[in-house]
Amino acid sequence: MPAKKYVVKLPDEERAQLVRLLSGGKGQVRKAVRAQILLLADEGRTQAAIAEVLPTTRGTVERICQRYCDHGLEDALNERPRCGGPRKITMKVEAHLVALACSDPPEGRACWTMQLLADQVVSLGLVESLSDEAVRLTLQKRGSSPGRRSSGASPA
């Protein structure tokens, strides 16, 4: 069996902090699992043994131990920022979009299309750019359908 790459040695103060975190009863599950990983690693258990005992994988155990060794306790316990930009469709934009979808379509059109709605929201200056798919997903989430006259299950 290969030697451990990242050996966790918790000072008494950090060990006590982790025990307090786990005994509090409230908190994030992921944070609690990370705390348990660090405590078990400090006891000298292998990554495979930790992964068997906890609801996690060996890769996660290794990453948490690596983050502790490289950056300290806070970085190992807390979530890192996720990729992706901020949401384009805020609550205000969503309200305008739903109101627009419920309004009469433009002159010469029988109904709103997703692209027409996206273009209209951009022309109103509510967002810099918007795709028709983002419009579709937003309206689907809200239960709106710009192509139908009735929102009921059967035609009027």
56 vs 1, 9, 37, CA distance in Å? 21, 21, 9
φ/ψ region of 78 (left if φ > 0, alpha if ψ in -120 to 50, else beta) reads: beta
Q: Which of 74, 82, 3 is closest to 35 using CA atoms?
A: 74
Is residue 12 pLDDT above 80, yes or no?
yes
Per the structure block, which two tokens stand in for 153? Answer: 């299950």
Q: What's phi and psi for 71, nearest 5 deg?
A: -130, -10
> What pLDDT shows up at residue 59?
94
Classify 28 as helix, strand or coil. coil
CB neighbours of residue 99 within 10 Å: 10
Is residue 147 pLDDT above 60, yes or no?
no
Q: Name the residue type at position 66.
A: Q
Q: What band does 85 get if pLDDT is binned at 50, 70 and 90?
A: confident
Q: Which of 150, 148, 135 is closest to 98 using CA atoms?
A: 135
Q: Which residues lie below 8 Å from residue 96, measured CB to CB, with a gap of 6+? A: 121, 124, 126
| Mean pLDDT of all residues belonging to the chain | 88
> What pLDDT shows up at residue 92?
94
> What pLDDT shows up at residue 83?
83
Q: Which residues lie below 8 Å from residue 106, measured CB to CB, with a gap of 6+? A: 112, 116, 120
> What pLDDT shows up at residue 142?
78
Mean pLDDT confidence for 118-136: 94
> Which comes out higher in pLDDT, residue 28 or 139?
139
